[in-house]
Amino acid sequence: QVQLVESGGGLVQAGGSLRLSCAASGSFVSINVMGWYRQAPGKQRELVARITSGDSTNYDDSMQGRFTISRDNAKNTVYLQMNSLKPEDTAVYYCYADATMNRDYGAREYRYWGQGTQVTVSS
């Protein structure tokens, strides 16, 4: 099993910055991809960014240039640096990890989710 613990959310004024962290722990062979989704009330969940173990990154167009995803493989931690925040960035942010796990029938990849952290950007 893999547990993801998120931190760093909070209340910030428009134009401000926040840094989210998500640390993975547990038993796994490797964590291949880590990333962030967000969901606002009444809105669909959307991908914010993802990063591979080799530091290849992908961003949603609306976040690129303002958000930066990074990871520390030694610490099994993914970060999301959020700059120039806008009220429309207000949402619960969920991190995820795609981890290769050992099972009786062989190694398999599973997706694990963090508990979510609230980001609120005031006008």
* Distance between CA atoms of residues 27 and 24, nearest Å: 10
Q: Is the pLDDT at 61 greater than 90, yes or no?
A: no
- Going across the sheet that includes 2-7, the strands are 2-7, 18-26, 77-82, 67-72
14-48 pLDDT tens trace? 999 999 999 999 999 999 999 999 999 999 999 99
Q: Is-contact 88 71, C-beta < 8 A?
A: no
